[in-house]
């Protein structure tokens, strides 16, 4: 997926984890980008500029969403017991299990929008540190430390997940 | 080796962001340090469980079409820096867009969004591709024609 459309839609889908929301968001982003075209001066790559608009737009949506969180992680673990264990089986693909997919979604939802964004840019979109620093307008060192913090947070939450699952 | 600094290095190794010399050092350390190996594997497992490879896109065909066009547009030619005289193209994109919306047949089977995005991507990459368009291209662009 290398077109702008694919990149933007891919980013929205990964971040928002909801196909129709992602499509709406991608649409909004292209309209925003179009309206802001005059402010693009070619000092970064066009794709980076577009990604920045997309990232900010999705971050806003995630912020709004995090203000209206519903079910807690613990309640979900309680409900979906065995799926949690499967998640860490080497051969397991969460895409093939609705329950696990929902768990992963909840786990990601429990991250802050900033953590979610930097992890998605790196792990799903495969951006280099340099590209992330240009997209988020921060230094390379900031990318490394933010990424590390986000990963450690995610690992901690996963561990909590796993322990809660196995102790059931 | 300091394990706190090494944690950063392990992530950088995982991300393919180490220069060859550092990579050799870190890999050598990994080979002899179980703690770091486990730490590395733990992240690799977590990432695999949480971020599986993205699903294939639904509009593969459009993406390919867009990319083909972008490649055509970006084929090597004399390069000139994006200059201010091209700024008139910004309102021109608007005109092309409006024209596009007006002439778009209702029976179009692909989604309007996909089509617009495809158009937009193609034109933008051309507008910003560090070279001036020739007259034919400009005309085609204003007319909203696909190439
Ligand atoms: Zn070690």
pTM of the entire structure? 0.64
8-state DSSP, B76:
S
Q: How far away, in angstroms, is B15 Cα from ligand 1 center?
A: 18
Residue-range domains of chain A with CATH: 1-69 (1.10.1740.10), 70-168 (1.10.10.10)
| CB contact set of B47 (below 8 Å; sequence gap of 6+) | A123, B14
Q: Which two tokens stand for residue A48?
A: 């980076």
Give the residue ranges of DSSP H helices in A37-112. 46-66, 73-87, 98-109
pLDDT attached to residue B91: 52
Mean pLDDT, rounded, for B89-112? 43
Task: Show me where the domains of chain B are located.
Answer: 3-50, 100-146
Minimum-distance CB partner of A3 among B48, B121, B130: B121
Which ipTM score applies to this complex? Answer: 0.78
- Convert A71-103 to b/e letters by CB count within 10 Å (16 or more is b): eebeebbeebeebbebbbeeebebeebebbbbb
Give the integer Cα–Cα distance in Å for A7 and A58.
13
Q: To probe the interface with A, which of B5, B13, B40, B54 has the most A CB atoms within 10 Å?
A: B54
> Are residues A34 and B63, on separate chains, in Cβ contact within 8 Å?
no
Chain A residues lying within 8 Å of B62, measured CB to CB = 3, 5
Mean pLDDT, rounded, for A12-38? 85
pLDDT attached to residue A29: 87
Q: Which residues surround ligand 1, an ion (CB under 5 A)?
A: B 33, 35-36
pLDDT attached to residue A78: 65
Mean pLDDT, rounded, for B57-77? 48
Give the integer Cα–Cα distance in Å for B49 and A85.
11
C-alpha pair distances (Å), B89 with each of B76, B102, B121: 22, 19, 14
> Taking CA atoms, what residue in B is nearest to A83?
B49
Q: How many residues does chain A have?
A: 168
Tell me the three state secondary structure of residue A17: coil
φ, ψ for residue B132, nearest 5 deg: -85, 145
The Cβ of residue A119 has, within 10 Å, a number of other Cβ atoms equal to 24
Give the integer Cα–Cα distance in Å for A101 and B50.
9
Integer-rounded Cα Rg, in Å, for chain A is 17
pLDDT at B129 over 60: no
pLDDT attached to residue B18: 95
pLDDT band at A80 (very low <50, low <70, confident <90, very high): low
pLDDT attached to residue B20: 95
Distance from CA of B136 to the nearest CA of A (A): 23
> Are residues A124 and B54, on separate chains, in Cβ contact within 8 Å?
yes
pLDDT band at B22 (very low <50, low <70, confident <90, very high): very high
- pLDDT tens digits along B28-50: 999 999 999 999 998 998 888 88
Give the integer Cα–Cα distance in Å for B47 and B50.
5
> Are residues B113 and A27, on separate chains, in Cβ contact within 8 Å?
yes
Q: Which of B28-32, B68-72, B134-138 has the highest mean pLDDT?
A: B28-32
| CB contact set of B101 (below 8 Å; sequence gap of 6+) | none
Handedness of CA A75, A78, A83, A86 (dihedral sign): positive
Q: B70: closest CA among A137, A92, A46?
A: A46
Contact at 8 Å (CB) between B52 and A94? yes
């Amino acid at each position: 997926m290398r077109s702008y459309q694919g990149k933007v839609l891919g980013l929205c889908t990964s971040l928002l984890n909801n196909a129709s929301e992602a499509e709406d968001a991608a649409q909004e982003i292209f309209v925003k980008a179009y309206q802001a075209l005059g402010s693009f001066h070619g000092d970064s790559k066009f794709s980076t500029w577009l990604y920045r608009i997309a990232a900010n737009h999705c971050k806003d949506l995630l912020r709004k969403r995090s203000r209206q969180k519903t079910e807690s992680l613990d309640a979900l673990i309680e409900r979906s017991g065995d799926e949690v264990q499967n998640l860490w089986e080497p051969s397991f693909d969460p895409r093939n299990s609705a329950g696990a997919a929902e768990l992963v979604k909840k786990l990601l939802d429990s991250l802050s929008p900033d953590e979610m964004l930097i992890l998605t840019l790196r792990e799903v979109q495969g951006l280099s540190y340099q590209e992330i620093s240009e997209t988020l307008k921060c230094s390379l060192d900031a990318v490394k430390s933010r990424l590390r913090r986000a990963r450690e947070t995610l690992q901690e939450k996963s561990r909590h997940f796993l322990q809660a699952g196995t102790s059931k | 080796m300091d394990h706190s600094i090494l944690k950063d290095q392990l992530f950088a190794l995982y991300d393919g962001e180490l220069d060859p010399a550092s990579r050799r050092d870190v890999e050598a350390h990994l080979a002899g340090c179980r703690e770091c190996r486990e730490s590395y594997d733990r992240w690799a497992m977590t990432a695999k469980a949480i971020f599986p490879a993205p699903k294939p896109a639904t509009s593969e065909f459009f993406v390919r079409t867009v990319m083909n066009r972008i490649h055509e547009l970006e084929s090597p030619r004399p390069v000139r820096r994006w200059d201010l005289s091209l700024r008139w193209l910004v309102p021109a994109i608007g005109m092309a867009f409006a024209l596009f919306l007006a002439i778009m047949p209702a029976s179009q089977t692909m989604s309007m969004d996909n089509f617009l995005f495809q158009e937009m991507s193609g034109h933008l990459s051309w507008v910003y591709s560090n070279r001036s368009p020739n007259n034919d291209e400009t005309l085609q662009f204003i007319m909203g024609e696909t190439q």
